[in-house]
Chains A and B, each alone.
Chain A
Amino acid sequence: MAATQPLLNRRMITDWLGIAPFAIFSVMFLIAPTVYLISGAFVDPNGNLTLKNLVDLFQPSILAAYIISIKVSAASAIGGAIIGFALAAAISLGGLPSWLRSAVLTFCGVASNFAGVPLAFAFLATLGRLGLVTILLRDVFGFNLYGAGFNLLSFLGLTLTYMYFQIPLMVLIITPALDGLKREWSEAASVLGATPWQYWRMVVIPILWPSVFGTLLLLFANAFGAVATAVALTGSSLNIVPIVLFAQIRGDVLHNPNLGYAVAFGMVVITGISNFIYIWLRMRAERWQK
């Protein structure tokens, strides 16, 4: 017994040495920076524990930024989820030719990655004041888009732009779940006399809701954390959380570093909760995809 004890210890030491580089990397460049900001949100400039920073998040300008961020994220996630689901159902269950299915999936792979600054450029060229669609509507149909109150640098404009990567992401995630619906299930349902509507309501929706709802939350977090598109599209004219945080990091516009940490903390809370529920629902959904 006394002889095996050191041997076991040496093995444990090599075990932990093997994982050490990864442990050091993740602590230094992922965990420590996050923990530092989060703890900074709970102290005042003199280092005393306080909840004042979190209370200050509810001052009108910051609260407004959170509200419009949540609105844009929710609208683009719900819109993206509905249209993406329709598109995924069309290519998965709609009996369309197989070349169209692979074309749509490849395009979705491209479009879901076509985000950031270039996406903002594309929408400025489309729906900006001199964009093609704006000009066509004016010259051909005599409809003045901007006169009618539309503005690309607004809730509606940002939502429309974000949907360009939200819809493809939904398609990419939900198509495998739709493909996982076994043909036997619909056959069994119709043999037992179910109408298509009953089949959807009592078989498909109970199986798919964790995937759909989970993906909706992922899309929400995805839009909430999108910085580059928002900055490139609106400069700093639209007051949304990523832009406020970006300006705060650039040059303490809130005049209180700890309030900046609190803004970052609020962002992590919102994306964190949505992503945790997404990962949990995804594990539930995978039971049906075996």
Chain B
Amino acid sequence: MTAKKFWSWLAVAVAAVYFIVPLAATMEFSMRMRRGTYSFDAYRSVFSDQRFAETFSYSVVMALITIVVGALLIVPTAYWVRLRMPYLRPVVEFVTLLPLVVPAIVIVFGYLRLYNSSSVLPLTNSDTGTNILLVFGFMTMSLPYMYRAVDTAMRTIDVAVLTEAAESLGASWTTILFRCIFPNVLTGVLSGAFITFAIAVGEFTMPSLLNRPAFGPYLALIGANKAYEPPALAMIAFAMTWVSIILINITTRLQKGAAGAR
């Protein structure tokens, strides 16, 4: 028994060293900007850079649009498949898993070929068009996570009974969707939304190849040109990841609580 405990502590300790040392080193490096003493100058420099605010808010707006459009597409689809077309479930699940099979860089490569200026639908011709393309790209990347989160939440409610009850009270389709189904799967939508947010805000490949002024390409640019700002940005990104994971944990706990109360 004690031998087992010893090995377990040893495994955790070795892992802790591997995981904490890079964080400590990044923190230390980010504070070296002023000679001879530790300071937060690099952080000040990061936050005073106007492009930091610009690219970050651009990415946040894109992520929020992705979440809204994604939820409006995924929730009705998952609902409809469960209610009316259960025989399509394997097909839809297969499609939602495809983004795990096809890497993002390949998908965006396809976009650039299909929607370039000489194509039938030249989305990359204008900023708005490219932004739309980016939103759909983010939606594709988050599809496996969003669909699974919503579908899991829907498993705990009986969509057929809810729909019949609402229909017999005279509810229209929009009422059923937005006032019966959406509120019931809200925790699923929220946990999908946080994952989508985390993916979209930091994403490098898609916005970089689509030439959009997003946060990921900005990070790479700073990395190529500055010395002390990159580790500061890495620490900021780590803190942001931490916050979104805590939010995801809270929503999944709420979801489990709701399922347990039923």
Residues of B within 8 A of A (CB): 1, 4-5, 7-9, 11-12, 14-15, 18-19, 21-26, 28-30, 73-74, 76-77, 80-81, 84-85, 88, 92, 95, 97-114, 136-137, 139-140, 143, 198, 202-205, 209, 216, 219-220, 223-224, 230-231, 233-234, 237-238, 241-242, 244-246, 248-249
Contacts and interface: CB of A to CB of B under 8 A. Distances in A.
A86 B12 CA distance: 9
A279 B209 CA distance: 30
B105 A246 contact: yes
A106 B25 contact: no
B19 A111 contact: yes
A6 interface: no
B139 to A, nearest CB: 7
Contacts of A260: 109
A227 B104 contact: yes
Contacts of B106: 33-34, 37, 245, 264, 267-268
A249 B209 contact: yes
Contact of B8 (A26, A34, A94): A94
Nearest to B244: A113
Interface of A: 14-15, 18-19, 21-22, 25-26, 28-34, 36-37, 40, 83, 86-87, 89-91, 93-96, 100, 104, 106-107, 109-111, 113-114, 116-126, 130-133, 163-164, 167, 221, 224-225, 227-228, 231-232, 235, 242, 245-246, 249-250, 260, 264, 267-268, 271-272, 275-276, 279
Residue picked from B4, B7, B22, B110, most chain A C-beta under 10 Å: B22
Given A30-B140, A87-B11, A227 B105 contact: yes
A214 to B, nearest CB: 13
A22 B77 contact: yes
Contacts of B104: 225, 227
